[in-house]
Amino acid sequence: MSTAREQPWDSRYEWQTVTLLTLGFGLVGLDRWIVAPLFPSISKDLGLNYRDLGNLIGALGLAWGACAVLAGGLSDRIGRRRVLVPALVGFSLLSGFTGLAQGLTSLVLIRALMGITEGSFCPTSFAATAEASKPSRRGLNLGVQQSAFPLFGLALGPILATQLLRVVDWRLIFVMVAVPGLLLAVLLWRSVRDPVTAGPRATERARLSEVMKHPNVLLGMAALMCAMSGIFVLSAMVPNYLIDYLGLTVQQMGFVTSAIGFGGFLGQVALPGASDFLGRKTVLLAGFVLGAGLLYAFAHVGAKPGPLFALLFASTFFCFGLLGVITGPIAAEAAPRGLISSTAGIIIGSGEIFGGGIAPVIAGNVAQRYGIEHVLTMALIGLTAGAVVSLFIRETAPKKRALSAVQPG
């Protein structure tokens, strides 16, 4: 009698699923981060300041983190599609509603609700990608999926936003970016399969209490806090840093800020893919060290758009690559049987609550009180602390472990 393991791998479903979930996570990035390059215009219209920006980014991050923990476990029980599709519809509609905000209170409320829906989509989509992926391609596929987040949100988003501002109001831009998600939701409902939960091919599920037993879960939580407190502070504050501190024009700001997305896009493909061969721990340590060094150079180069772009591109190549390694293969390989989404949700949730929620709020207050240039120091501290945490990560890459197993001694 044949078993699921003896059957040929369904590569067609693998690439179809990875493609759709990559587009979905790209829209998460676009809807989440397009607010940053639009904020100089929003602040003039609604009378907001740096502290308000930090609170706005932080509210979404806190809601995202709290919901990621809950939704990860929910999708392990009720299926991927029942979480993915409503979440995608929800954050797309809420992105459009952002353009209707009349003040800080309504803006924060809308973005917090968006955090709930995006926090539901995130770990569930990672689990669906991991399940669809051949184990030898898991790191690469998760990296490809996550690479769309900076590409759409932080590379194309700033360029799109600053160019559209020439012809339309910021409110209409939010409405425009909501439409693609509604169309993609239909395709996801038709395409994504849920894990088999009954019969001879059922996925055996461990007890939820086993999630925290693997040391990489706690270490992944700590490493993600460090990485996200760096990169999300940059993503939120760099547009205003470039305009208000360095004196660049709005269009120059859009060009330089796009480096975060282009560098992050390539990093989230390259680093998780490289970790399939070099090992998770090696890539993690190198990413933290190189990301911090390049960010230090960025902070001292001055008001030169070309060098600013190059250094920010290189730094975020490593910084966003770290996010891909930690929330992708490290989380998936630390998960007990049948609890990939739960494990990813716990790691992502903790990172979001601190790095995506609390850290931007602190950064907004630092910028308001001491000057926006000091937020770069916060990012450097986070990346440096992450290098220390990465020293204790347990290696889980299948090829690296197999190689170690055949070596003598």
Query: Angle formed by the axes of helices 138-150 and 250-278, to 10°?
Result: 170
Does a structural domain hold residue 4? no
Does a structural domain hold residue 219? yes
Tokens 């769309």 correspond to 148
Does a structural domain hold residue 21? yes
Percentage of the chain modeled with pLDDT above 70 = 92
How many structural domains compose the chain? 1
Gyration radius of the chain's alpha carbons: 20
CB 223 within 8 A of CB 389: yes
Question: Burial level of 302, CB count in 10 A (0-12/13-18/19+)?
Answer: exposed
Q: Is the pLDDT of residue 400 over 80?
A: no
Residues 6+ apart with CB under 8 A from 179: 92
Q: What is the pLDDT of residue 4?
A: 42
Mean of pLDDT over the chain = 84
Residue ranges of E strands in 70-120: none
pLDDT tens column, 89-119? 998 999 889 988 888 899 999 999 998 999 8
Does a structural domain hold residue 3? no
In this prediction, residue 126 has a pLDDT band, given cuts at 50, 70 and 90, of confident
Enclosing H/E stretch for 34: none
Mean pLDDT score, 329-353: 80
Least-confidence region, from 129-143, 165-179, 192-206: 192-206
Nearest to 38 by CA among 239, 313, 261, 176: 239
Q: What is the pLDDT of residue 389?
A: 94
- Distance separating alpha carbons of residues 26 and 35, to the nearest angstrom: 15
Q: What is the pLDDT of residue 144?
A: 85
Q: H helices within 192-301, ranges in order?
A: 215-240, 250-278, 280-299
Residues 6+ apart with CB under 8 A from 275: 139, 282, 283, 284, 325, 329, 397
In this prediction, residue 292 has a pLDDT band, given cuts at 50, 70 and 90, of very high
Percentage of the chain modeled with pLDDT above 90 = 22
Residue 301 maps to which CATH number? Answer: 1.20.1250.20
- Distance separating alpha carbons of residues 210 and 337, to the nearest angstrom: 9
HSE-up of residue 17 (Cα within 13 Å, Cβ side): 25
Q: Is the pLDDT of residue 158 over 50?
A: yes
What is the reported pTM? 0.72
Does a structural domain hold residue 376? yes
Mean pLDDT score, 377-394: 92
Q: Is the pLDDT of residue 199 over 70?
A: no
What is the residue type of 34?
I
Does a structural domain hold residue 324? yes
Q: Which of the two residues, 407 and 80, has the higher pLDDT score?
A: 80
Q: Is the pLDDT of residue 202 over 70?
A: no
Does a structural domain hold residue 127? yes
Does a structural domain hold residue 1? no
Instruction: Give the structural domain span for 244.
Output: 12-195+206-406
Nearest to 27 by CA among 145, 136, 126: 145
pLDDT tens column, 213-263? 888 888 999 999 899 877 877 877 888 899 989 999 888 888 898 898 889
Q: Which of 35-44, 283-292, 362-371 is most confident?
A: 283-292
Q: What is the pLDDT of residue 309?
A: 95
